[in-house]
Structure 1
Amino acid sequence: MSREEECQRSWQSPTWLSRIVLLVGVTCLLSTFAPGIAARAHLVREMVPDAFPAAAATGAAAIGVILIALSRALRRGKRRAWVLAVALSGLATVLHLLKGLEVLESLLCLGLTVLLLRSRRHFGARPDPRSGRRVAVVLAAGPLVATALGYLWLATDVDGQAGGTTAADRLWQALLGLLGVPGPVRFTSDGAFTRSEVGLAVLGAAVLFVAVVVAMQPADGPHPMTEDERGLVDALLARWGWIDSLAYFATRDERSAIFSPCGQAAVSYRVVGTTSLAAGDPVGNPAAWPAAIGAWLDEARAYGWTPANLGCSERGATAFDKAGLDVLELGDEAILHVDDFSLEGRTMRGVRQAVARTSRAGVTATCTRVQDLAPDVLDEVRVRAAAWREGSVERGFSMALGRFGEAADGDAVLVTATDAAGELVGLLHLVPWGDDALSLDLMRRSRESGNGVIELMVATLVEQAPRLGASKISLNFAVFRSVFARGERLGAGPVIRLWRALLLWASRFAQIESLYRANAKYHPEWAPRYLVFRTPADLPKVATAALRAEAFLVAPAWLRHLGRRTRSVDGATGAAVPGADADAAAPPAATSTTSERPAEAPAAGHLDEPLLDERGSTLR
């Protein structure tokens, strides 16, 4: 067992300490409402002023709530969460004695403080980007808002306040009461005094709680790619984009990129919640993939993020596996080889009939590079694509570009289908896969169009592929494709049949089986795709992050709008990529249609494997 695994299994590990902090937080919160606290508080009042037990009870309850909130950040190894937990558990040790001589709870908090201090070395994760600015805003505006609320409360509930109390007295009482300090207002009864102290202390604790929650709130990632970084990625795609059919999607606007020290490879990812979610294989020279993966893992470890990859190929999964991550087969990608594709034969009868029927109805299809389309045509396609979309948001992350018709994507291909009246009824949008292949980004058709429109566009695309310089085409991704294929075979075992039955049931709510059928009828080559994760315990978090990234789990519209405004205000520019050589930063070379690639000289001291100089059979 490695030292890191031993650490994760010990009582001082972030995982176990987060559970203990959660337990202590719940205990502190529930002890406030214990039946015997009133009797014990009476004994304390004989030794300390009357306001102390009430303020201590409020403070202990607030600390309990904050410790519960901190437990999640502690699990990620956050240094800031550790500092707060140490301070609060030490303070709770005293408060439990002041509020009612709660010796057991006090000893529990003291033990937690000692355990946290002994585990200091395990909590080194830095704060998430931009969280410091948000905390400063809360700490600046929070007391003002809480003071205003306290003043309004004191001005409304005047029962028990001595005569002659002024507005200034109430304002100072509200401000000082947030800190638990008595103010200038005089009360005519102990009940009114205690009610005021406790209520204002609750407001002060609320400000602290909000600040803690904001401080521990996960960010959306370090920053989107800068222009310099985008140029580096484009240069890597020009040389090595042929390796992975998903490589071009690394330029998706919401993604970030982290580079190997030599600048010859990069991992494209997005931080979703507390998960650093990469997609596809690393971009660039495969010999530099381990260094890029290492840089990505180091960043995730530094910020306490959970690393995962969605949709990498077998080659990429092998690289991630060597980096110490676990791998799970997720499904298969359908790839059509132009030279082998034909509508002839019995196996293609269904596709052939659909194409013939649609053609007889007057539907025609055309294939054009985006850079050759007129602006008004692009505008019309954008409108139609949005109108035909299922749902209110654009789905996709690992296998979708998220934009259409931009000048930077001029080499993309648009396939359109028009009916006999000249109306647009379907479209395919494909991005470059190296210099001699295409990868499907978008597939849409009108709800009023008949069956066969998609088949006609695919058949036309394959027919026109030689003119476009494409030798193969990557179509849709089929989740758990092997389950459907194996479950249909004669003699399939009970486990695979049960698994297939569950997927068929799930297909009622998501297009799982139908997507598999839509691809299988073309008899493509199936290339496996994988999910990469750190430990099985991370799978629920990773699955949630993947569903969020792919827009299957979507926040309300008002919250998405607020998030966009926050990113526009807080957005930071990225730093230059360290160690990137001048050759990697140069503009992409002119597109070539040949299958040969020039050999590149390795960067001294960075690469341990020979660089590839041709396309090999290990592509999939």
Structure 2
Amino acid sequence: MDRPTAAAVEGRFARWRGRRTARVVTWAARVAGLLTILSLLTPLLRRRLQPATWFGLPPEAPLVGSVVVATLGVGLMMLATGLRRRKRRAWQLAVVACVLLVVSHVVGRHALVPTVVVLVLLVGLLLTRREFTALPDPVGPLAAVRVVVQMLLGGFAVVTLLLLVRPSLLEGRPSTGEILAQSALSLVGVSGPVQFRVTWFDDLTAVLGLTFGIAALVLGGYFLLRSAEPRRTLTDDDAERIRALLARHGRADSLGYFALRPDKAVVFSPSGKAAVPHRVVAGVALASGDPLGDVEAWPGAITEFLASCRRYGWVPAVLGCSEAGARVWAREGGLDALELGDEAVVDVATFSLQGRSMRTVRQAVSRVRRAGYDTTVRRLSDIPAEELEQLRELVARWRGGPAERGFSMALSRTADAAADPDAVLVVATAEGETRGLLQFVPWGSDGLSLDVMVRDPAVPDNGLNELLIADLLGACRGLEVDRVSLNFAVFRSALERGEKIGAGPVARLWARLLRTASRWWQIETLYRFNARFGPVWVPRFLVFDAVRDLPRIAVAAFEAEGYGGRPPALLRLLRR
């Protein structure tokens, strides 16, 4: 690796100091919250809550106080996640919670240890306030207030309805005011003025009310502290600036054109000569490929991107950057790199179906041709609009729905001549019907990068994709294309090492695990398919800030690529 610059070293030290501070405060908040909750479970401390009545408070005050203290303890443990991301709002709420806990401990003559720990945490928060600068989600406060009010009103309404429809289970004839008071107090786990004839009905209303109250606390905290996920829209102005960068420097990276996905945002360098396209998923800012534009301006774009991540508390990550890109990210951003896989790049000038190594592809192509298949290779600008519309409808029907897989090497649109006139479409037909197609996007002025590979699910013929790729490679000279990027093979080198004679037990075990995972994800399949065309393997890397962020990055990457992540039903529910 190249030696980091002075600015990179200083930035790395500042991030290390900030992470260390946030880690200490996070664990202190967790310990303080846990001690606070545990302290309420001891008989001695429950007796010490009774002196609260000395201040002229009603007899129920100690119980209410214990619920408040427990809620604040749970709140501190929830705030720990926001503190770890150095969220300003989490710091503010933690300070308020600590002040309230100190007051509660003093008034209730609470245990000494939790009081001291919370007081130390409060002092630490005040001393490190400058480290907590991450901005909150712009829609967080409104969403948090709305969900808290909805959950509390829902619980209040459910308990009230139960009390009204089953009066035979209540002692006497409680008034409407008493019923409403009972419903409201049940949200915090406190008994009200209503007396019950059967114990199970009392327990049922108490559990329902407290469940809604806890749900309001948890969901309200989630919306208040969640990392911002900006609206996934690429503006027309940003798209034009990206196209200008691609026109001058698009040859550098085969993934550059995918920056035009409509669900990506982009951060430009101060000079405007470089940019980092990205998408925020689950609090992770996922960039893909190398920065766009002039290599000399990459450091400025990287600095702006990392500053944006710190501003909003996002976890920075880069999927599929090149070795040169990984060096710049490590030198300028102080990030680490992990080899993720290899990109298959075919040299058009040397590709041929002749020879022993191409026997499998040659046989597959011949078999499909004998079955009556033919292909056409055209740029989108040369295809009539009516035909493009028909092809888009076919692709939507073949996919069976709006779900799409791909992020780092997918454009998310097919056969759109207005947006991608230089893209190339390879279409296979049989008996006058379209059976499959490939779409390639531009890679500079002399290259193509595979975007879409889709076929009619009813087609039984093996080898259709081989035919499409072989005919595309054969037509590249007429298109003035010298190189073609095919699919990305994840962990290809690990699979290859595990197959070599003399491979160690770790390499063999890792390769065996990857083959097992291939039952659900096309890991080995893509590697084998790409290898048939004799490509040059170009390594691609995952760039990340800290090892502990890798699980979160994996979830975000799986969701962005369409292979899983957070359940869609849960996301829709939370948005509602």
TM over 0.5: yes
Partner Cα distance (1:6, 1:285) in 2: 29
Q: Which moved more, 1:48-57 or 1:551-560?
A: 551-560
Q: 1:137 aligns with which of 133, 146, 160?
A: 146
Give the counterpart of 1:330 among 297, 322, 340.
Answer: 340
Aligned position for 1:77: 86
Using the alignment, how far apart are the partners of 1:560 and 1:198 within structure 2? 26
| Alpha-carbon distance in 2 for matches of 1:382, 1:181 | 60
Q: Is it true that 1:492 corresponds to 2:511 in the alignment?
A: no
In structure 2, relative to structure 1, the CA distance for the partners of 1:358 and 1:154 (3 Å cut) is closer
Please, which moves more after superposition, 323-332 or 142-151? 142-151
For residues 549 and 265 of structure 1, the distance between their equivalents in structure 2, rounded to whole angstroms, comes to: 24
The separation in 1 between residues aligned to 2:119 and 2:136, in whole angstroms, is 26
- Out of 16, 25, 41, the position equivalent to 2:33 is 25
Determine whether 1:259 maps to 2:273. Answer: no
**Alignment correspondent of 1:572:** none
| 1:236 counterpart = 2:217 | no
Question: How far does residue 436 in structure 1 lie from its aligned partner after superposition?
Answer: 1.6
TM-superposed CA distance for 1:473, in Å, is 0.6
**Which residue of structure 2 aligns with residue 454 of structure 1?**
465
Q: Given the superposition, is the C-alpha separation of residues 35 and 159 from structure 1 closer, same or farther in structure 2, using an over 3 Å criterion?
A: farther
Deviation at 1:24, TM superposition (A): 2.3
1:124 to 2:119 alignment: no
Instruction: Identify unmatched segments of 5+ residues in structure 2.
Output: 1-8
User: Which one-letter code corresponds to 1:503 in the other structure?
Assistant: L
* Match 1:318 to one of 312, 316, 327: 327
1:463 deviates by: 1.0
How many equivalent residue pairs? 557
1:15 corresponds in structure 2 to 23
How far did 1:312 drift? 0.8
Please report how far the alpha carbon of residue 505 of structure 1 lies from its aligned counterpart in structure 2 after TM superposition. 2.5
1:445 aligns with 2:445: no
Q: What does residue 298 of structure 1 align with?
A: 307
Partner of 1:471: 482
> Which residue of structure 2 lines up, in the alignment, with residue 402 of structure 1?
412
Give the whole-Å Cα distance in 2 for the aligned partners of 1:497 and 1:197.
Answer: 57
**Residue 6 of structure 2 corresponds to which residue in structure 1?**
none
2:314 counterpart letter in structure 1: W
Q: Find the aligned partners of 2:538 and 2:545 in 1 and give their Cα distance.
A: 23
Distance 1:230 1:392 in 2: 23
Task: Identify the range of structure 1 (51-60 vs 404-413) with the bigger mean alpha-carbon deviation.
Answer: 404-413
Partner amino acid, structure 1, of 2:142: R
In structure 1, distance between residues paired with 2:19 and 2:153: 45
Q: Is the 8 A contact 1:56 1:98 kept in 2?
A: no
Which of the residues 364, 370, 382 maps onto 1:360?
370
Give CA deviations for 1:151-183 in whole Å, capped at 9, x if unaligned.
54665687999989654675578679989999x
1:95 equivalent in structure 2: 104
Q: Paired residue for 1:271?
A: 280
Distance in 2 (alpha carbons) for counterparts of 1:6 and 1:452: 52
- Indicate the SS of the match to 2:126: helix
- Encode CA deviations 1:98-118: one digit per residue, 9 max, x unaligned: 557333323332222222222
Contact 2:377 2:425 (8 Å CA) reproduced: yes
| Counterparts of 1:544 and 1:439, CA distance in 2 | 26
* 2:356 corresponds to 1:346: yes
* Deviation digits for residues 419-447 of structure 1 (CA, Å, limit 9, x no counterpart): 2x223222111111112211001112334
Instruction: Measure the CA separation in 2 of the matches of 1:272 and 1:206.
Output: 24
1:524 aligns with 2:532: no
Q: Quick one: which amino acid aligns to residue 441 of structure 2?
A: V
Query: 1:608 — aligned with what?
Result: none
Aligned-partner residue type, residue 96 of structure 2: A
CA offset at residue 516 of structure 1? Answer: 0.6
How far off its partner does 1:72 sit?
Answer: 0.9
Give the Cα separation in 2 of the matches to 1:225 and 1:354.
Answer: 41
Alpha-carbon separation, structure 2, partners of 1:555 and 1:204: 25
Q: Which runs of 5+ in 1 are unaligned?
A: 567-620
* Amino acid in the other structure paired with 2:560: A
Which amino acid is the alignment partner of residue 276 of structure 1? A
Counterpart residue number, 1:422: 432
3-state DSSP of counterpart to 1:366: strand
Contact 1:146/1:207, CA 8 A, preserved across alignment: no
Q: Deviations over 1:8-57 (max 9, x none)?
A: 575xx112221221232233334333344443344544565312211111
Q: RMSD value over aligned CA atoms?
A: 3.4
Write out per-residue CA displacement over residues 438-480 of structure 1, whole angstroms, 9 at most, x where no aligned residue. Answer: 1001112334332221111111001111222211110001111
User: Are residues 500 and 272 of structure 1, via their aligned partners in 2, closer, same or farther at CA, if it must alter by over 3 Å?
Assistant: same
After TM superposition, give the deviation of residue 482 of structure 1 in Å. 1.5
Cα distance between partner residues in 2 of 1:531 and 1:79: 29
Amino acid in the other structure paired with 1:366: T
Amino acid at match of 2:449: S
After superposition, the Cα gap between the structure-2 partners of 1:171 and 1:497, relative to the gap in structure 1 and judged at 3 Å, is closer
Aligned AA (2:47): A
- Select 1:248's aligned residue among 242, 246, 257: 257
* Counterpart secondary structure, 2:251: coil
Partner Cα separation in structure 2 for residue 534 and residue 55 of structure 1: 44
Question: Residues 109 and 240 of structure 1: is their aligned pair in 2 closer, same or farther, counting only changes over 3 Å?
Answer: same
The answer for the alignment partner of 1:393 in structure 2 is 403
Q: Which residue of 2 aligns with 1:570?
A: none
Say which is worse superposed, 422-431 or 258-267, in terms of deviation.
422-431
Q: Which residue of 2 aligns with 1:61?
A: 70
User: In structure 2, do the counterparts of structure 1 residues 139 and 452 end up closer, same or farther at CA, with 3 Å as the change threshold?
Assistant: closer
1:601 alignment counterpart: none
Counterpart in the other structure of 1:591: none
Q: Tell me, in whole angstroms, the C-alpha distance in 2 between the residues paired with 1:490 and 1:346.
A: 23
8 Å contact 1:331–1:479 — kept in the other structure? yes
Q: 1:549 to 1:234 in 2, by over 3 A?
A: same
Change over 3 Å in CA distance of 1:206–1:455 after alignment to 2: closer
Give the aligned partner of residue 549 of structure 2: 538
Q: Does the aligned pair in 1 maintain the 2:555–2:566 contact within 8 Å? A: no
Comparing 408-417 with 88-97, greater Cα deviation is found at 88-97
Whether contact under 8 Å (1:59, 1:201) holds in the other structure is: no
TM-score, L = length of structure 1 = 0.81
Instruction: Give the alignment partner of residue 48 of structure 2, picking from 40, 44, 62.
Output: 40
> Which secondary structure does the structure 1 equivalent of 2:338 belong to?
strand
Number of the residue aligned with 2:392? 382
Task: Encode CA deviations 1:565-586: one digit per residue, 9 max, x unaligned.
Answer: 77xxxxxxxxxxxxxxxxxxxx
> 1:180-236 CA distances to partner (integer Å, 9 max, x unpaired)?
999xx97789xx9x9999998986676455432211122323652211111111211
Contact 1:248 1:432 in 2 (8 A): yes
- Report if the CA contact (8 A) 2:67-2:189 is conserved: no
| Residues 160, 296 of structure 1: alpha-carbon distance in 2 compared, 3 angstrom cutoff | same
- Shift of the 197–88 alpha-carbon distance from structure 1 to 2, 3 Å rule, reads farther
Aligned equivalents of 1:65, 1:99: Cα separation in 2: 18
- Tell me how far apart the structure 1 counterparts of residues 372 and 172 of structure 2 sit (CA, whole Å): 90
> Equivalents in 1 of 2:317, 2:169: separation in Å?
59
Q: Deviations over 1:581-616 (max 9, x none)?
A: xxxxxxxxxxxxxxxxxxxxxxxxxxxxxxxxxxxx
Amino acid of the residue matched to residue 275 of structure 1? V
**Compared CA separation, residues 378 and 27, structure 1 to 2 (3 A):** farther
CA contact 2:29–2:76 (8 Å) conserved in 1 = yes
Pick which of 169-178 and 447-456 moved more: 169-178
Question: Taking structure 1 as reference, are residues 31 and 206 closer, same or farther at Cα in structure 2, changes over 3 Å only?
Answer: farther
